């Protein structure tokens, strides 16, 4: 019963945002009538949305309109779309140069999420990582985001393979900042290696990471520094494409 009520409330809150987007400033009674709920229910939902900054009361007494919180969310979504679009030509070149799959990853709710992928030319080029959450401490992209402050280190570092680093001191975050790239050697999956470099936004902060990943017999330990340098160069170009000129 509780879960059903919660889902219904979420559905109604979404419907309210759609009503306000369509009609502009709207009265509580109009919202209640369209949702076919009691005025007190509509008022309670609007109050919750107002608390979250998604709606606000207009100068016209008793009317609500979309709040600046919606603009913030829309801006974040647009930025992510821009990042995926602007990084693609660079990722295509990197995938060809490195010969491995190249991903763009961002920080989301404490994890690393891949938002774009270009497969490498090799017959064996790994699976589709787009949309998948991966642990920050066990991936090259996650280590980049941790090292440059886009993510916070979780309290406990889970082990995924015998090579997973579970000690914060051994992650080498300072070294990653100094050299400008990070690597993961069979730390998320046995037989999978990866290397990543930071992408900076207009304000200079690290907003994403570009990575190359492949089987350990092909993307060997010996190749990681050279691939890291290529990715760092590509990351600088992507950064410029999304507005960073530092």
Question: Using CA atoms, how far apart are residues 105 and 109, in angstroms rounded to an integer?
Answer: 13
Residue 100: what pLDDT? 94
**Cα end-to-end distance, the chain, whole Å:** 54
Residue 1: what pLDDT? 42
Asked whether the beta carbons of 44 and 37 are under 8 A apart, the reply is no
Please indicate whether the domains covering 2-66 and 77-241 agree at the CATH topology level. no
Token pair listed for 121: 């030319």
Asked whether the beta carbons of 165 and 141 are under 8 A apart, the reply is no
Which one, of 193, 173, 174, 182, lies nearest residue 229 by Cα? 182
Question: Using CA atoms, how far apart are residues 26 and 64, in angstroms rounded to an integer?
Answer: 5
Spelled out in words, what is the top-level CATH class assigned to the domain 2-66? mainly alpha
Taking the domains of the chain in order of start, what are their residue ranges? 2-66, 77-241
Residue 60: what pLDDT? 63
By the 10 Å C-beta count (0-12 exposed, 13-18 middle, 19+ buried), 234 is classed as: buried
Is the domain spanning 77-241 CATH 3.30.750.24? The answer is no
Q: Mean pLDDT, 10 residues at a time, over the chain (246 residues)? A: 69 89 88 91 90 82 80 59 84 94 90 88 64 91 96 92 96 96 97 96 91 95 97 95 76
């Amino acid at each position: 019963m509780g879960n059903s009520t919660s889902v219904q409330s979420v559905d109604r809150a979404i419907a309210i945002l759609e009503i306000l987007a369509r009609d502009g400033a709207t009265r509580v009674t109009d919202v209640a009538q369209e949702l076919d709920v009691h005025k007190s229910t509509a008022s309670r939902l609007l109050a919750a949305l107002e608390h979250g900054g998604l709606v606000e009361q207009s100068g016209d007494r008793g009317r609500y309109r979309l709040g600046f919180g919606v603009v913030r969310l829309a801006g974040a979504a647009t930025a992510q779309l821009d990042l995926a679009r602007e990084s693609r030509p660079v990722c295509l070149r990197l995938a060809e140069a490195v010969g491995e799959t190249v991903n763009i990853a961002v920080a989301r709710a404490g994890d690393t999420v891949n938002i774009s992928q270009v497969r490498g030319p090799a017959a064996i080029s790994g699976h589709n990582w787009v949309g998948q959450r991966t642990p920050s401490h066990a991936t090259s992209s996650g280590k980049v985001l941790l090292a440059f402050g886009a993510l916070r280190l979780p309290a406990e570092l889970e082990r995924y393979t015998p090579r997973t680093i579970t000690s914060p001191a051994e992650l080498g975050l300072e070294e990653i900042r100094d050299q400008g790239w990070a690597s993961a050697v069979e730390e998320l999956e046995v037989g999978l290696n990866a290397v990543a470099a930071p992408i900076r936004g207009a304000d200079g902060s690290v907003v994403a990471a570009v990575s190359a990943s492949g089987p350990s017999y092909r993307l060997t330990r010996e190749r990681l520094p050279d691939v890291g340098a290529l990715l760092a160069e590509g990351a600088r170009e992507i950064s410029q494409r999304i507005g960073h000129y530092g």
